Each structure stands twice: as structure tokens, then as C-alpha cells.
Amino acid sequence: MAEIITCECGAKVRLPGETLNRSFRCPACKTALALTVDARVLHSVTLGPGAAGVTCPICQSDIAADEAAVTCPGCDQAHHRECWSAIGGCGTYGCQQAPSLPKSGGPAQDAAAQGWGDIKKCPRCGEKIKSSALKCRHCRLKFETTDPLTPKELKRRQEQKAAAGQLRIVMPGLFLLSLPGCLAPLVLLVGSLLVVYKRQEMRKAGPVYLVLGYASVIVSAIYTLLMLGFVAYSISNQIV
């Protein structure tokens, strides 16, 4: 029976029973989880100042003091937690915790197993790095995926990330402005435009910000209707 653990975000996560592919993330917060061959979660730590210079064997870059790291139970080699999760195991050749490849099933399967080869180009500086790297050891750029990216794809992802970050600031402020009611028509206009034209970015920012966007529109719409009703009532009384 698959083990159920509690992630750092508080979500209950059922670990996969199979051990071939150990690239696994928490479904709720998307945090990388480093799993061993027997489906145990490695405890992650941050290295202290005295541990400077420890190199991750997967991305070939130093593990910074503020980066989550795990130690391989097979060879005692420190890794970035993200790197371990990305390839599904230890990056040391021959280690029992190294990810295993499926048996050869023909040329097509062999080509798929080879993936992108041993190296890829960094989309920012153009230097060659390991295909499994999640950070360029030359310009220190971090990646969210091990797949090769073109400069255009990198720019698009960075723009989407920046837009999501801006919405994480705008949406709570817009919701707070909708509560007093005095700015209801303006908040209704701005909120409606954001919900219509920035819906995808709001989803990428997180479900909380999407809910805040809809809530600000609903609250400001109610206040606006009340204002219009009061104005209509006042005009009708003056006519009478």
C-alpha cells in the first residue's frame, strides 16, 4: 500500500508505489520531493555557511546556503532537492540510488531514453551545460524544467512569471478596495477587465488570486447596483 506523507505545505500526499520514475512533486504546492528507490522521502536541509563549495553532481553548480539540499543515502553525496526530483534519483554514476532506465524495446524506445543527449545550451548565455541541469553554472540562471529552452521560450516564461507576480500584488489590493464600496464602479471596471483578459495569468498566479479577482468583481457589482438603486430612488422622489 502506498505511503501517505504530509508535505511542508500541509497537504496529504500519497507517494507513488512504483520506483522506476521517482520524479515527483507535491500536487498542491508543486514542491519537489526527493524519493529513494524504496519510495522514502529524503529530508531536505539548507547548508550552513561553512559548507560552501559543495557541488551538486547533477547540475554541476555549487549548492547555495539558501537552497534545499538532500544527501544520497547510498553514496552520501549532497544534491539540490530540485535536481534529485528532476531526474528521479542520485546523480552519481553507479550509485544504487541512481535512476534506472527501462529495458531496451527497440530503436524508438532507445531514442526516447537518450532524451536530449548529454549537453544542452543555456538559453541566456549560450554556454553548454548538462542536459539534466536545472541551473546554468556559468550565468547562474535557474530553470523550471530540464528540457532545452530557446531564448524566445525563456523570455516568454519569464514574462509570464513576472505577470503572475504582479497579479499576486494587484489582486489582494483590488479586493480590499472593493470592500468599502466607495470605489465600486471603478473596481468593477478594472476587475472585470483583469478577469476577462488576464484569466490565464491569474490561474498561474494561483487559485487564491483567481478567487480574489472574481470576489472583487462580485462585491463591487453589488455595491454598484445599490448605488444605482439609491440614485434612481432619489430621482423618483424629486420627480414626485
In which domain, by residue range, is 202 found? 152-239
E strand map for 55-158: 68-71, 78-80, 119-121, 128-130
Is residue 22 very low, low, confident or very high in pLDDT (cuts 50, 70, 90)? low
Q: How confident is the model at residue 187 (pLDDT cuts 50, 70, 90)?
A: very high
Identify the H or E element spanning 41: none
14 falls within a domain: yes
When pLDDT is cut at 50, 70 and 90, the band that residue 115 belongs to is very low
Residue 114 has pLDDT above 60, yes or no: no
Residues 81 and 159 in one domain: no
Contact assessment for residue 20 and residue 30, using Cβ atoms and an 8 Å cutoff: no
Whether 197 is in a domain gets the answer yes
The predicted structure's pLDDT at residue 15: 66
Q: Is residue 112 a part of any domain in this protein?
A: no
Average pLDDT for 41-46:
77
**Looking at the domain assignment, is residue 104 inside a domain?**
no
Q: Are both 8 and 94 inside the same structural domain?
A: yes
Structural domains counted in the chain? 2
What pLDDT is recorded for position 116?
41
What pLDDT band is residue 153 in, cutting at 50, 70 and 90? confident
Q: Is the pLDDT of residue 106 over 50?
A: no
Q: Which of 55, 70, 98 is the last residue of a domain?
A: 98
Shared-domain flag, residues 94 and 170: no
Mean pLDDT (whole number) for 170-192: 92
Between 216 and 62, the more confident residue is 216
Q: What is the pLDDT of residue 17?
A: 59
Whole-number Å distance between alpha carbons of 129 and 138: 9
Distance CA 157, CA 110 (A): 30
The average pLDDT across 61-75 equals 84
Kindly state whether residues 17 and 93 are assigned to the same domain: yes
Mean pLDDT of 207-228: 92
Residues 11 and 80 in one domain: yes
Are 94 and 158 in the same domain?
A: no
Asked if residue 34 belongs to a domain, the reply is: yes
Q: What is the CA radius of gyration of the chain?
A: 25
CA dist., res. 194 & res. 190, Å (int): 6
Q: How far apart are CA 10 and CA 147, in angstroms?
A: 30
Q: Which helix (H) or strand (E) holds 33?
A: strand 32-34
Question: Cα separation of 66 and 47, whole Å?
Answer: 7
- Decide if 48 contacts 64 (C-beta within 8 A): no
